[in-house]
Amino acid sequence: MTSSTPFIMILVLPLRATDIPLLPDPPLPPCASQCSLEVNPKILQRSGDLLAVHWELLSGVPSNESDKIALFAPPFKSEEANDEDWVAYFKPSTIDGSTHSVPVTNVRAPFYDIRYLSGVTGECLCRADKVRFEMGPSEPTQGHTTIDASTGALKVHWVTDDPLPSTVWYKEEGSNTWRSSLSLVTTYTDADMCDARMDRYYAPGYFHTAVLPASFQGPLELTFGRKKLRAEQMQVNPPLGRGDRTEYSVALFGDMGVQGAGRGPHKMWVPHGVWDAYWVKQHMESNDRIKLTVHFGDISYADGFSRVWDIFGDSLQTIAMRNPVMVSHGNHDYDYKGAWNPSWASGDFIKTKYGNECGIPLNHRYALENWWYSFDYGMVHYVMLSSEHDWTEGSAQWLWLEHDLSTVDRSLTPWIVLTSHRPMLVAVIGEPRNTIEDHMADALMPLLKKYEVDLVTAGHWHHYERTKPDLPVEFRDLERTATIWAEVRGYLELQVKEDKLVGIFWGINDTMTDRHLIEFDRFEIHRNDHRTRTILRGGQQV
């Protein structure tokens, strides 16, 4: 089931008779020779591989706690070596010793230029030899899978610099027969976004989507790309069909972003990367019960920085290739000066500080056809609302939602789970910050009660709280998650069974010295509770 507001993506592709010749490397900005900087290896096999960096300042050259070792990739925005146009960096002062390993994302540049920058003057003190990827800019990267909302088919997505269709090869586990499907290709430019900042924009590559036409009984072996430029072979769990009674877990969360702020094991800084995303992803990777991932808005926090999308896609590949990932828009993905702007929202939907992406990067990377949609997975009907578009009574989204909920076959999908980036209910903030939530509850809550929606999940406010199973009730605020801006990181594991839903919130916060996730909360929703409804909230950055 999909909404009635489709996107139209058209890309005219030229035929290519011969390979595109390689262009000469662009010139490097000037740099001094006041230190030595060595890297190993100089040619990385695949995106995300670790690069060992060793540094040593010359005698008499002082170090500073703000010194940086920064990764730059052409095209360079400035001829100055101390420009802020880095892809990522780490501070030597935070490292024990003078050698450190960091993951490197293939951003489709001819090479990486790695520089030691003075924390006092910003001057480039030295640079390493160029670092390249074995497959170059044409490496197929950022693999992820989704579900076709209309047919339930598995879709495979990846990114490369090649505008021509390429291939996904797949076979069922234990089979010797490989099948293939050709990709459709889209891309976008800065002109497609809504007054995006050019100093943050880089060509995003080409987005490939291949649909696997068959239904499968078990895991798939899968790879994609071209015959000589393929991704590693991976195992993929195909989606459960509508009504399938197999029990499974789904990971539900908002506001993921990328690991940054010098935290995590690699101590990297990335534009707008300030969260403990590494530990959340690590926990989800180790949770074998999860067969589906649902991310309701504020996906990468790129805010117009094109290469943050690359880093995010690279970091999520293990999770997103093992199980389908379904996404929707949040304020950081969509809001811009021309967005929906009701008078009572005080301009909250038209903020331009989010980079004016107006949903374009997210739509292309995940091949979204609609701003809001629904899909079925096993015993659950999932509804993905857009809190950034008009949801007031009588609006296109409101009318679509009523029709969608009214046509759910509860004999096949007895459970309904609804997601939205912004919540309808919130407890720890007061007026005037909850004006949008109040309007949203007034508009949508009657529909949720009428059609007996079982669970609503939302993010946006950076902390975890939930109601008890029956409404109206008081909220339950968990002591260990504190209140707003507590940087609570985690996800809801929802275990789907025929007779009940079991929710477990796995989380961390800044009071915990051990960053490994623990169980913060557990609740159950039973089918024999006269359609109990539980509201769960948990998210990250506004």
DSSP states along 147-186: E-TTT--EEEEEEES--S--EEEEEETT----EEEEPEEE
List, as one string, the DSSP characters of 317-343. Answer: HHHHHHS-EEEE--HHHH--TTS---G
* Beta carbons of 351 and 331 less than 8 angstroms apart: yes
Q: Give me the mean pLDDT over the 234-245 stretch.
A: 96
Bridge partner list, 127: 115
97 pLDDT exceeds 90?
A: yes
* Beta carbons of 204 and 141 less than 8 angstroms apart: no
Question: How high is the mean pLDDT of the chain?
Answer: 88
Task: Label residue 8 by pLDDT band (50, 70, 90).
Answer: very low
End-to-end distance of the chain based on CA atoms, in angstroms? 29
Q: Give me the mean pLDDT over the 164-168 stretch.
A: 97
Q: What is the pLDDT of residues 394-408, one digit of tens each?
A: 999 999 999 999 999
User: Which of 434, 505, 142 is CA-nearest to residue 313?
Assistant: 142
- For position 461, what pLDDT does the model report? 83
Q: How many CA atoms lie within 13 A of 177 on its CB side?
A: 2
Tokens 């199980």 correspond to: 323
* Beta carbons of 314 and 271 less than 8 angstroms apart: no
- In order of their start, the domains of the chain are 35-136 (2.60.40.2840), 142-537 (3.60.21.10)
Q: What are phi and psi of 167, to 5 degrees?
A: -130, 145
Copy the structure tokens of residue 186: 């889209």
Contacts (Cβ under 8 Å, ≥6 apart) of 61: 34, 35, 125
How many of the other CB atoms lie within 10 Å of CB of 526?
Answer: 15
Contacts (Cβ under 8 Å, ≥6 apart) of 487: 275, 276, 462, 509, 510, 540
491 pLDDT exceeds 70?
A: yes
Q: Give me the mean pLDDT over the 442-464 stretch.
A: 91
- For position 232, what pLDDT does the model report? 97
Q: Give me the mean pLDDT over the 189-197 stretch.
A: 86
Copy the structure tokens of residue 33: 């020779």
- For position 70, what pLDDT does the model report? 97
Task: Label residue 477 by pLDDT band (50, 70, 90).
Answer: low
Q: How far apart are CA 393 and CA 399, in angstroms?
A: 8
76 pLDDT exceeds 80?
A: yes
- For position 412, what pLDDT does the model report? 97
248 pLDDT exceeds 90?
A: yes
Q: How far apart are CA 497 and CA 505, in angstroms?
A: 17
- For position 5, what pLDDT does the model report? 44
Q: Give me the mean pLDDT over the 231-247 stretch.
A: 97
132 pLDDT exceeds 80?
A: yes
Task: Label residue 488 by pLDDT band (50, 70, 90).
Answer: low
Mean pLDDT lowest for which of 6-10, 57-61, 374-378, 472-476? 6-10
Q: How far apart are CA 231 and CA 213, in angstroms?
A: 21
Q: Which amino acid is at 437?
A: E
Copy the structure tokens of residue 432: 């005037």
Q: What are phi and psi of 87, to 5 degrees?
A: -80, -40
7 pLDDT exceeds 50?
A: no
List, as one string, the DSSP characters of 527-542. Answer: TTTTS--EEEEE----
Task: Label residue 6 by pLDDT band (50, 70, 90).
Answer: very low
Task: Label residue 483 by pLDDT band (50, 70, 90).
Answer: very low
Task: Label residue 474 by pLDDT band (50, 70, 90).
Answer: low
329 pLDDT exceeds 70?
A: yes
Peptide bond into 213 cis (omega under 30): no
Is the pTM value of this prediction over 0.85?
yes
Mean pLDDT lowest for which of 209-218, 308-317, 531-540? 531-540
- For position 431, what pLDDT does the model report? 55
167 pLDDT exceeds 80?
A: yes
Q: Give me the mean pLDDT over the 336-363 stretch.
A: 85
- For position 293, what pLDDT does the model report? 98
User: Which of 41, 67, 43 is CA-nearest to residue 55?
Assistant: 67
Task: Label residue 108 by pLDDT band (50, 70, 90).
Answer: very high
Task: Label residue 22 by pLDDT band (50, 70, 90).
Answer: low
Q: What is the percentage of the chain residues whose pLDDT exceeds 90?
A: 67
Q: How far apart are CA 316 and CA 276, in angstroms?
A: 14
**Higher pLDDT among residues 517 and 2, named by residue:** 517
What would the 3-class secondary structure string for 265-291 be?
Answer: CCCEEECCECECHHHHHHHHHHCCCEE
21 pLDDT exceeds 80?
A: no
Q: How far apart are CA 231 and CA 224, in angstroms?
A: 6
33 pLDDT exceeds 50?
A: yes
* Beta carbons of 495 and 508 less than 8 angstroms apart: no
- For position 429, what pLDDT does the model report? 62
Q: What is the pLDDT of residues 146-157, one digit of tens each?
A: 999 999 999 999
536 pLDDT exceeds 50?
A: no
- For position 471, what pLDDT does the model report? 59
10 pLDDT exceeds 70?
A: no
- For position 530, what pLDDT does the model report? 41
345 pLDDT exceeds 90?
A: no
